Amino acid sequence: MSGTLVLVRHGQSEWNLKNLFTGWRDPDLTDLGVTEATAGAKALADYGIQFDIAFTSDLKRAQRTCQIILDGVGQSGLKTIRNQALNERDYGDLSGLNKDDARAKWGEEQVHVWRRSYDVPPPGGESLKDTGARVWPYYMTEILPRVLAGQKVLVAAHGNSLRSLLMVLDRLDREQILSVNLATGVPMVYKLKADSTVASKDVLGDMSGAH
């Protein structure tokens, strides 16, 4: 049996709370976001896992979630690699806009297509397919080899960068991934086989809070 891969979406950010498109913008966690990350840390501590290395994005909401989890499992000083390959999807011209204002400007249907389609990017931004195109190579070259070597690896990132990984891990096609939403702060624990496919998956919390 190979190692373990734990994926966690960051806790609620200030812009999640304000209903703004965030993307590569860099707001911090809200108090609720800190609480969510802390609950995820407790779930992992109760699960009994100790990590060998952590990965996170270039954005503070994921970095702070990562640190809260490491503090919670007693590994505050663990080596953590930050890379923008794990950043949230870039929403381009939508970044910083209220989602209701965007609907008023471009129309409900167009904004829905930008948010939920697989390969239609918003103006100046990335589609989920584009996000995957930077997440997948990074996963294959930097993260997966460590898991296959038997390490326990934490990845604290974002809804869309993690949805890209779920396409690989859960073998979801471009239609199936559209209905997948990840709850904030809820760890997903994957144990991988030697051929990199999934042996088991445990969700340590309630995914019904996904948005």
Q: Are 109 and 120 in contact (CB under 8 A)?
A: no
Q: Give the C-alpha separation, 144 to 152, whole Å.
A: 11
What amino acid positions are annotated as catalytic residues? Answer: 10, 88
β-sheet bridge partners, residue 53: 153
Torsion of CA 12, 163, 47, 196, to 10 degrees: -160
Alpha helices (runs of H) in the chain, residue ranges in sequence order: 14-17, 31-47, 60-72, 99-106, 108-116, 128-138, 144-148, 159-169
